[in-house]
Amino acid sequence: MRILGIDPGIAIVGFGFIDKAGSKVTPVQYGCIQTEAHTPDEERLLHVYEAMLQLIDKYKPDSVAFEKLFFNRNVTTAMSVSQARGVLILAATQRGLPIAEYTPMQVKQAVVGYGKAEKKQVQEMVRMYLKLQAVPKPDDVADALAVAICHAHSYTLNSKINEVLRK
């Protein structure tokens, strides 16, 4: 199973593709989509949308996992990131991919084992879990991989629960 984890943003969209086979999880490709500051939002959104379609078409994930947005201060940033998230969901939906969402606390719990873990702890666990030489940069990329890992764990658990319920 191939999973695409996404950390949505308007300036930087972190993405991470991982393969899950049994209990083994391996990185496939990861990076970020960046847009230029001072560019009109509609152009930035188009760039994010088109770049995501290209990535989906190239790496062919079976499902997509997003980090749920959480904002407590800057409403302007929240609006821009929400719009970017919308075009990312649209790209995945147009390709017929199932979508899952996880809160930052759920991601931290799945990756570190503690829902209030620090960002550095999550990044280091992503590096160790995927056997990477260094923590992926920028932070958005490590966050996207953490979301993908969270989905890999949750998908396995949810599959087992559904299997039991079907019996």
Q: Note the pLDDT tens digit of each residue in 95-115.
A: 999 999 999 999 999 999 888
- Look up 7 and say whether it is catalytic: yes
Distance CA 118, CA 166 (A): 38
CATH of the domain at 31: 3.30.420.10
- Look up 67 and say whether it is catalytic: yes
pLDDT classification of 157: cutoffs 50, 70, 90: low
**Annotated catalytic residue: which of 36, 43, 67, 124?**
67
- Look up 139 and say whether it is catalytic: no
Q: Is 139 annotated as a binding residue?
A: no
Over residues 80-99, the mean pLDDT reads 95
- For residue 75, is pLDDT > 80? no
**Annotated catalytic residue: which of 7, 36, 62, 118?**
7
Q: Give the total number of structural domains in the chain.
A: 1
pLDDT at 78: 80
Bridge-partner residues for 2, per DSSP? Answer: 19
**Higher pLDDT pick, 105 / 77:** 105
Distance CA 88, CA 53 (A): 9
Over residues 78-87, the mean pLDDT reads 91
Residues 6+ apart with CB under 8 A from 56: 4, 91, 92, 95, 97
Q: Which domain holds residue 78?
A: 2-166
**Annotated catalytic residue: which of 62, 140, 143, 163?**
140
State the CB neighbour count (10 A cutoff) for residue 73. Answer: 7
pLDDT at 166: 61
